[in-house]
Homo-oligomer: A and B are copies of this chain.
């Protein structure tokens, strides 16, 4: 099901948007809707994408391949996510974006985005937030370098659940979780076997229920606590909070 409201919904998590702005975003999502099946590449390493992708439905992911064949998924792209907003300069991709499930998306020329930003400054701001949150998320993933298997997986689940929630894709404490255990392994830097065993332990502890690609988190707070998850990096609902926070810092010497 294609939802042309996803982007507006997603961006509303950063700033309140007017009806007019939402309408403009809705128009974007009608541009040139495309559909691809699972496992299809959207952009490949070495290419210079000439546009921004907006995901309307389905999951995608970015991954890097090493010479010896190992693959590392470096991020998941969910409905409402924009890819390579930053790539105005048409840089060469250093990784591949690929569909995890069947996918609906729109390919937006950069000018189209620029034009909307000019007309609606608040959308421009929201897009900055969007980008910021993507970068923060990337940083969080690197923190997993010092996390245990439990923490890596649990953390990922918390993140995905919350991100899906912001676009209305959770039902109570449940959500879809399309990636296979092998893909979870590629995302966390673990072995499929070990992911499997870790999942079983987490199930045994009652932290998660995961079956048939459906994830249920009986007690989100407990899971978050168990895996040391703090959601601040998603930067949800901070935009309103004003800008006047003053603390003493860096007793620097003026030169």
Contacts and interface: CB of A to CB of B under 8 A. Distances in A.
Interface of A: 14, 32-36, 40-44, 46-48, 50, 62, 64, 66-68, 70, 72, 74-75, 86-92, 94-95, 104, 125, 128-129, 131-132, 135-136, 138-146, 152, 186, 188-189, 228, 230, 232-233, 235, 238-239, 241, 243, 245, 247, 249-255
A174 B34 CA distance: 50
Contacts of A135: 86, 135, 138
Contacts of A136: 94
A92 B132 CA distance: 11
Q: How many copies does the complex hold?
A: 2
A249 B41 contact: yes
Contacts of A189: 144-146
A32 B164 CA distance: 43
A131 B135 CA distance: 10
Nearest to A99: B250
A95 to B, nearest CB: 7
Contacts of A34: 250, 252-255
26 contacts: A33-B255, A35-B252, A35-B253, A40-B250, A43-B249, A44-B249, A47-B249, A48-B245, A64-B140, A66-B143, A66-B228, A72-B142, A86-B131, A87-B132, A89-B129, A91-B132, A91-B235, A91-B238, A92-B238, A94-B235, A95-B139, A141-B145, A142-B142, A142-B144, A144-B189, A145-B188
B94 A233 contact: yes
Given A40-B251, A86-B131, 16 more contacts: A32-B254, A33-B255, A34-B250, A34-B254, A34-B255, A41-B250, A42-B250, A66-B146, A75-B139, A86-B135, A87-B132, A91-B238, A92-B232, A92-B241, A144-B145, A146-B186
A103 to B, nearest CB: 9
Contacts of A32: 254
A15 to B, nearest CB: 9
Given A64-B143, A247-B44, A253-B35, A129 B235 contact: no
A107 B85 CA distance: 26
